[in-house]
Amino acid sequence: MQTKALIHNETDPIANMANISALLFDALKQVNWVGFYRVIEEQLVLGPFQGKVACIRIPLGTGVCGTAADTKTTQRISDVHQFDGHIACDATTNAEIVIPVQLNGDIIAVLDIDSTSFGRFDHEDQYGLEAIISAFEQNLALG
């Protein structure tokens, strides 16, 4: 897996988030934003990303990102406009997938990926992205 090679022997989580964001933004088709939000003082704070400017702070439990962090579950949303409480950082986004990042059972961040295409993300995308986050989590545990 390219992600494992990219983050191998690097213990700085911010550097790894930056490279994972760049790798995914380059590799995935029909995405307009890829990045991380870090959990800091009971809210999500913008971390490394690729794409247009974004919301800086998101309360836990709010929007797709906050829901993923609060429930510790991946959120794969085909139409964000139908998601109760969706936060529109970019009005052109129509679909979103958010994967929580855990360390020792605690959510420390989420990976957020947006697309202008409705229904952009499927089970295969979710499986692959969760595998990438799993590799990142293993790297975090070693650091």
Is 38 a member of any domain? yes
In tens, the pLDDT along 43-63 reads 999 999 999 999 999 999 999
In tens, the pLDDT along 13-45 reads 999 999 999 999 999 999 999 999 999 999 999
Residue range(s) defining the domain that contains residue 132: 15-142
Is 125 a member of any domain? yes
Is 22 a member of any domain? yes
Does residue 87 have a pLDDT over 90? no
Does residue 98 have a pLDDT over 80? yes
In tens, the pLDDT along 114-142 reads 999 999 999 999 999 999 999 999 999 88
Q: For position 136, which CATH number holds?
A: 3.30.450.40
Prediction pTM value = 0.95
Could you give the C-alpha distances from 74 to 5, 95, 96, 126, 142, in angstroms and in order? 24, 14, 10, 8, 23
Dist CA 130 CA 136 (whole Å): 10
- The dihedral built from the CA positions of residue 88, 61, 124 and 13, taken in this order, carries a sign that is positive
Is 5 a member of any domain? no
* Listed residue (96, 83, 32, 85) closest to 60, CA to CA: 85
Is 29 a member of any domain? yes
Task: Write down the residue that tokens 């059972």 correspond to.
Answer: 105
Is 7 a member of any domain? no
25: tokens are: 């933004």
Is 50 a member of any domain? yes
Dist CA 113 CA 104 (whole Å): 24
For position 1, what pLDDT does the model report?
A: 66
Count structural domains, the chain. 1
Is 6 a member of any domain? no
